[in-house]
Structure 1
Amino acid sequence: MRTFDWELLPHFLAVARAGSLRAAAQSIGANYGTVNRSIQALEASYGVRLFHRSRRGFSLTEAGEALLPMAEGAEQKIFAARKRVEGLDRSESGKIRFSLTPTLAYDIVAPLIVRFADRYPEIDIELRLTSKVESITNDETDVSLRAARDVADDVVARKLLQLDIGVYASEEYLKSVFPSAGPGGSGLTWIGMPGGDGGHGWQSHSPFPNAAVRHEVSDGQMRTRLVSLNAGMSHLPVLLEPAFPNLRRVPGTDISPGPWLWILLHSDLRKTVRVRRFVDFLTEELRALHKHSMTQL
């Protein structure tokens, strides 16, 4: 493989995965024309067509299928080399890519990022808010905060705390709507999650089996916001309670154990000083916040 092919292979992989030049360019933050020229140069270098072009997009030729696993192997070796070198960093400076869900980002983690920046002014955090699980082993992120029952990834995983779940409504909703509720909570509103329970089993086992399920929202931040705006009641992490002063746990409901909150990082980065400082800081702050929220119950 010629030396300059290393610069072209990421574009080849992007097109193979995305199925079009435009989507590939967007996925890697490159220019459409640059990706197109890279594919043409790579095909000219090998003397074969790597993709079939059609109105439906790009699909791999037989030659492209043969190249794909070798290109992916090269990609993994480059990722591993980068992590190994970054792991030698002993300075309290540089950038950390941090991936987490919007549910925890705005009201729980944002204040912690501010405090961390005050303590370590030379460390920059690139926040990546996504509900998708970004891969650490594939170099999509450096550190990830994830809610899960268990973690099977080949990464360093630190179990922080269990996310206790309660049923919450706003103070105004409890005062103005609950007094007029009928038997089994008729007249009340649940704000649920799409596909969370097709038969609404959680509803029938609650003190409010006759409440209507409306406004099903996948994003936890939006669900919390709707509850705080008096739109109904919902199951929410107790950890959110201090960030929303008008939230109240619904009387007659119990706290139930939810998923665990984990901090994940690449094994080669655990000795990197800036990453260790950030992970230790998050661990300490989130556990303190959880302890405080539980004492308020």
Structure 2
Amino acid sequence: MYDWNDLPFFLELSRRGRLISAARKLHVDHTTVSRRIAALEKNLNARLFDKSPRGYQLTDAGLRLLPFAEQMEAQSNQLYQEISGKDARLSGTVRLSAPEGLSAHIIAHHLGAFREQHPDIELELMAQSRRTSLSKREADIAITLARPDAGRVIAWKLCDYRLKLYATQDYLDHHPPITGTEDLSAHDFISYIDDLIQLPELRFLDLVIKDPHVVFRSTSVLAQYNAALDGIGLSVIHCFMANQEPRLIPILPEEISINREYWLVVHEDLRQVARVDAVCRFLTRLLKDQRQNMMES
């Protein structure tokens, strides 16, 4: 029989990925975390973690144990609240994967209110433009550009957003005038690196011009945004980003307008975990409040 007091050590190492980080959160020495994990693995007769240069990664057995441990943690918090009559403060770490532009220009700018309401929840924000595996627990929650069509996940649409073509006045002053889409072939463009695009929803430049003359490519939305501000070319940019920068001028705004969607996705085993639910509610409210900003140009 295993000691269920070992489970908090398992949970924290699964979230942190490193002994020292888990130990710091649990207020113990890292050797204590290592010893408790070893004891749990011995009692369960299963290896729960693989160690690599990137830290500790859950094995298949660890992934199977994780939802049960999280349910026990949630029930423990609920028991305290029901029996003591006190509100259990939500605590712990929640890892969120979200597109870079949304992360930097919307989510990160509205964390103050969330921190005031939930000061003991530590939010880890992975800003990226690749697929995130919730089944492998790369993140607890993901904001995606499309509804997932497989997996044990729960998803709902957060909002629509719009992208348009932008350039600076300095760029326009030093290049041929643009009066129609046929003029775009004489211009320089900023875009993603083609063979590193994982998501078809990011191939929006193809909708603007065939065979564009691309002078700068990056996997980073912020790098593309800053390159456009530096006047090196035309770029398809989120309206909610361009709205904050008066130097960016929309090009053919009535003709070039691309709509996309944001979806919130959470693994079904985590949907009722209190701290995860708190983050889901925060994101849902935030993107609802931002809907007009997402579509304006």
Same fold at TM > 0.5: yes
- For the 8 Å contact 2:48–2:60, the answer to whether it is kept is no
Q: Is the 8 A contact 1:184 1:209 kept in 2?
A: no
For 2:214, what is the secondary structure of its paired residue? strand
Note the 1:169-248 alignment, pairs <5 A. 169-179=167-177, 184-195=183-194, 206=208, 212-248=213-249
Q: Which amino acid aligns with 1:249?
A: P
Q: TM-score, normalised by structure 1?
A: 0.66
- Superimposed CA distance per residue, residues 112-166 of structure 1 (whole angstroms, 9 cap, x where no aligned partner): 2233213332322122334443322222221222223544231111211233222
The residue number in structure 1 matching 2:67 is: 80
Partner SS for 1:121? coil
1:4 Cα shift? Answer: 4.3
Deviations 1:235-286 (A, max 9, x none): 222232334343222125321223x211122223322333222212211212
Please report how far the alpha carbon of residue 185 of structure 1 lies from its aligned counterpart in structure 2 after TM superposition: 3.2
- Offset, 1:73: 4.6
Q: Distance in 2 between matches of 1:190 and 1:244?
A: 19
User: 1:273-292 alignment to 2 at 5 Å?
Assistant: 273-292=274-293
Q: Which residue of 2 aligns with 1:93?
A: 90
Give % identity.
20
56, 62, 68: which is aligned to 1:28? Answer: 56
* Aligned 8 A contact 2:162 2:259 in 1: yes
Structure 2 portions without partners, runs of 5+ = 3-37, 79-87, 198-202
Structure (1 or 2) with the larger CA radius of gyration = 1
Q: What do residues 216-245 of structure 1 show as CA deviations (whole Å, max 9, x unaligned)?
A: 222222111211221211222223233434
The TM-score with structure 2 as length reference comes to 0.66
State the SS of the aligned residue for 1:215: strand
Q: Distance in 2 between matches of 1:210 and 1:127?
A: 35
Which residue identity lines up with residue 166 of structure 1 in the other structure? K
Is the CA contact 1:161–1:287 (under 8 Å) kept in the aligned structure 2? Answer: yes
Taking only aligned residues, the RMSD between alpha carbons, in angstroms, comes to: 3.6
> Does structure 1 conserve the Cα–Cα contact (< 8 Å) formed by 2:67 and 2:270?
no
Q: Which runs of 5+ in 1 are unaligned?
A: 15-23, 30-70
Rate the CA distance shift 1:204–1:196 in 2: closer, same or farther, 3 A. Answer: same
SS in 1 for 2:94: strand
